[in-house]
Amino acid sequence: MTEAETSRTGKRVLLAKPRGYCAGVDRAVQTVEEALKLYGAPIYVRKQIVHNKHVVQTLEAKGAIFVEENEEVPEGATVIFSAHGVAPEVYEQAKVRSLKAIDATCPLVTKVHQEARRFAAEDYDILLIGHEGHEEVIGTAGEAPAHIQLVDGPDGVDKVTVRDPEKVVWLSQTTLSVDETLETVARLKQRLPLLQSPPSDDICYATSNRQHVVKEIAPDCDVVIVVGSRNSSNSVRLVEVALDAGARAGYLVDFAHEIDDAWLAGARTVGLTSGASVPDELVQQVLAHLAERGFADVEEITTANERLTFSLPQELKRDLKAAAARG
């Protein structure tokens, strides 16, 4: 479609940046890929390495086997722990089964685990803001179960009980809605005025950045499409943030073919972004799908430039180095 034809249709896409892979996801996926090359298939992965259907299917095709628990991994085999982190007991189970464990936990999640251990050692009550049942929450809570209670959003505040209102701190899951977390903290502080905050914000930079750019574009959008999986907390949050910020409609899809043409009927501006565990090829497929339907004018809206990278897990780096030395 020519530029003149595009301007005649008046249809456009506002493409959010930053979007897609964050440093923690990139590291986790690379960990599985490098382990497969170094040790050979199969490599076992406890839980989904990241919450994305396409990524999991791609790694399965290369020889990764995804399991729910360590018991499903043959004794002595290699197991990779997902980016969401695990409780200490999971490491113990791995030792009992003589598993070679490689920890692909995102370093920003590891930071929250360290905070939990430190505050528990100082005998604080820890209020963990997060979603019940999410793998990251289970892993963090497992660091100090006797000290941690879950607060699942603002509505969970009234159920909180603490031993000493002067020794309470809040921590959070890294992939929450920034605004909802701030609202939860504000309500907690009404009840517990001496509530302490973590030394630095627990919500990760990538989650905050992706929500911020969606807030920028949403008021101009008839529809916002978020590429991401339903079990991806940060992807689900992006749809909510878009709607809260003024988008007329918002939808979550794993793949371009899931887009219903009815969503686009009468739309002039479509916003497009993707969750932190989504490879950009899936976004490009959505752009091609939209272009076929007249949305060929794409404007990328950038609110931050991300340059953070994380090195591979120590266990894997050590073995890669040894393999390189052997030639």
Report the binding-site residues for isopentenyl diphosphate: 51, 84, 134, 232-234, 277
Identify the sign of the CA torsion 233, 236, 238, 242. Answer: negative
Tokens representing 300? 């990328």
Identify the sign of the CA torsion 36, 41, 45, 48. Answer: positive
Cα distance between residue 97 and residue 166, in whole Å: 43
Q: Three-class SS of residue 68? A: coil
Cα distance between residue 215 and residue 221, in whole Å: 10
Which residue type sits at 99?
L
Query: b/e for 60-88, b at 16 or more Cβ within 10 A?
Result: eeeebbbeeebeebeeebbbbbbbbbbbe
Q: Can 136 be counted among the known catalytic residues?
A: yes
Cα distance between residue 44 and residue 119, in whole Å: 33
Annotated binding site: 22, 51, 84, 106, 134, 174, 204, 232-234, 277
Choose the catalytic residue: 136, 240, 299, 300: 136
Annotated binding site for dimethylallyl diphosphate: 51, 84, 134, 232-234, 277
Helix, strand counts (H, E) of the chain: 12, 12
Say if residues 121 and 148 touch (Cβ distance below 8 Å).
no
Q: Please list the active-site residues.
A: 136
